[in-house]
Amino acid sequence: MKLERDFYIRDTRTVARELLGKILVHNVNGKIFSGKIVETEAYLGIVDKAAHSYGGKRTKRLEIMYGPPGRAYIYLIYGMYYCFNVVTKEEGTPEAVLIRGLEPIDGINDMAKNRFNKELSQLSNTQVKNLTNGPGKLCQAMKLDKYLNGEDLCGDTLYIEEGKVESLSIVTAKRIGIDYAEEARDFPYRYYIEGNSYVSKVK
């Protein structure tokens, strides 16, 4: 069951927590890439110094964040990696959830090619773990790039499904890579599934 618009319009931290265990799916001309979401971060917009939209900043790049919920916000970082976010809240409120870790499900052999230009069977154990345990890594594995920026997650190309019913132990932690954000640096807006090996950083 695909998640509907109403899922995304809610409180951003709630969405970030509830995305854990859900399945991110990318259909590339019939080839399916998918993975279970195991790590997320909430970015709370206007009041959050770590968010791109802090203080109501509104530029061309940020228009997607100000748009309707349930769309993809994908941006280039450090000149060579992408970060995939889910836009939350009602239109006009620029908040989002960054997906930081995925456990591969479908298309794993192609993920290996996308990441390391090798067959899955040729990867070391470390490389298998490094397929999708970080925001830039999972975008490379799943073929998520700037051409999908703004994509509607309620469509058929890129979407999120209900996962298996399971009880998850969720860890709350500080966000990563936002040392510039003053007090917001220490806000506990990162969530991950305890014990999952595709979490980018434990603790």
Does position 137 interact with DNA (CB under 7 A)? The reply is yes
Residue choice 69, 135, 144, 160 for contact with DNA (CB under 7 A): 135
What is the Cα–Cα distance from 143 to 125, expressed in whole angstroms? 22
The interface mask with DNA, positions 147-176, x = CB under 7 A, is: -----------------------------x
Residue choice 30, 79, 147, 164 for contact with DNA (CB under 7 A): 79
Site for DNA, residues 28 to 67, rule: CB under 7 A? 41, 43, 50-53, 57, 59-62
The dihedrals phi and psi of 160, each to the nearest 5 degrees, come to -125, 135
Does position 117 interact with DNA (CB under 7 A)? The reply is no
Neighbours of 146 (CB within 10 A): 10
| Least Å from the CB of residue 94 to DNA | 8
Number of residues that bind DNA (CB under 7 A): 34
Burial status of residue 165 (CB atoms within 10 A of its CB: 0-12, 13-18, 19 or more):
exposed
Which residues in this chain contact DNA in the complex, by CB under 7 A? 41, 43, 50-53, 57, 59-62, 73, 76-81, 83, 85, 96, 98, 115, 130, 134-138, 176-178, 180, 200
